Amino acid sequence: MTEALGAKPKRILVTGGTGLVGRAIQEVVANGEGRPDEEWVFVSSRDADLTSAVETKALFEKHKPTHVIHLAAMVGGLFKNIRCNLDFWRRNIHINDNVLHSAYECGVQKVVSCLSTCIFPDKTTYPIDETMIHNGPPHSSNFGYSYAKRMIDVQNRGYFEQHGCRFTAVIPTNVFGPHDNFNIEDGHVLPGLIHKVYLAKQNGSALTVWGTGKPRRQFIYSLDLARLFVWVLREYEEVEPIILSVGEEDEVSIREAAEAIVEAMDFRGELVFDTTKADGQFKKTASNAKLRHYLPNFQFTPFRQGEKGAHHCMAVPPFSPSQTLLMASLRSQL
């Protein structure tokens, strides 16, 4: 089958298809981004253990994809990374190697893998861009995950140079949105904060944020990222990765993010910062100049609007009818 002849539709396999980004891609494809010549298959860990080469190959042979979006990974927040760096390294190295090699063996035309800005050197100049990935060691707090993700870029270049494969990767900044992991211990910063605010409201207690609140992050709404993933799959032809992010001017501190969540959830209690907890990397300011070169007019969802949509989708009971309506209203504006 060739794309030019259009003998069969593209069959797009999405690993990690039930996670934050996978669910967002499902939503945008279902709501107008899908095309008649595309068949989308979303799989999760229930379908195959991607740390197993045998199971991964069987998954590819079953679905026979022409294209792959590779999202599956062992992920977690700062404190889980600090505790389990070796686990993050080993599991992700196995997953990535199995997925990319199965894609090669099965003749997949294109793979788009998902990296993270944590792969960039800890000691660097800002803003960081796509040319700086391998310029030094990543932050020590999550070196296992960071190095495993970096190796995808190395493998992509290797598969291209040795076999001519069109394997590439995207580097999103901090993703948030509906269907996130709201676990306080193991989740990322925004869903963890949303969960903490919910509990503080329920218990009538202060809101305690771990760290000083000074680190700065760029947050991208999951539905925006999903639309960009679809664009990369269809249009982006480089092997070199591309940063998918809001602009440098949209960077916010953890304190500002916490204050936005407090406002959105109408929390009236005290906001306390526990400075005995680690901050992690202070900043990871990324340039989206390459993305803007390709898509100068792409419209990102404003942080406070996206954050409201995220907190109304938190899987804790129950939300009022008015909150449910607000969530639907926010979605309709995207």
Instruction: Spell out the per-residue pLDDT of the chain, length 334, in tens.
Output: 444 455 478 999 999 999 999 999 999 999 999 999 999 999 999 999 999 999 999 999 999 999 999 999 998 777 788 889 999 999 999 999 999 999 999 999 999 999 999 899 999 999 999 999 999 999 998 999 999 999 999 999 999 999 999 999 999 998 988 888 777 766 677 888 888 999 999 999 999 998 999 999 999 999 999 999 999 999 999 999 999 999 999 999 999 999 988 988 899 999 999 999 888 778 889 999 999 999 999 999 987 665 555 555 443 333 333 233 333 333 333 2
Q: Which of 104, 126, 145, 198 is catalytic?
A: 145
Active site residue 145: yes
Measured between alpha carbons, how far is 315 from 330 in angstroms, rounded to an integer?
Answer: 18
CA proximity to 150, closest of 174, 115, 126: 115
Token reading at 159? 């598969």
Task: Give the Å distances, CA to CA, from 79 to 7, 137, 254, 279, 288.
Answer: 49, 19, 16, 10, 28
Whether the CA torsion 211, 212, 218, 223 is positive or negative: it is positive
Measured between alpha carbons, how far is 109 from 71 in angstroms, rounded to an integer? 17
Q: Considering Cα of 221, then 198, then 209, then 261, what sign does the dihedral take?
A: positive
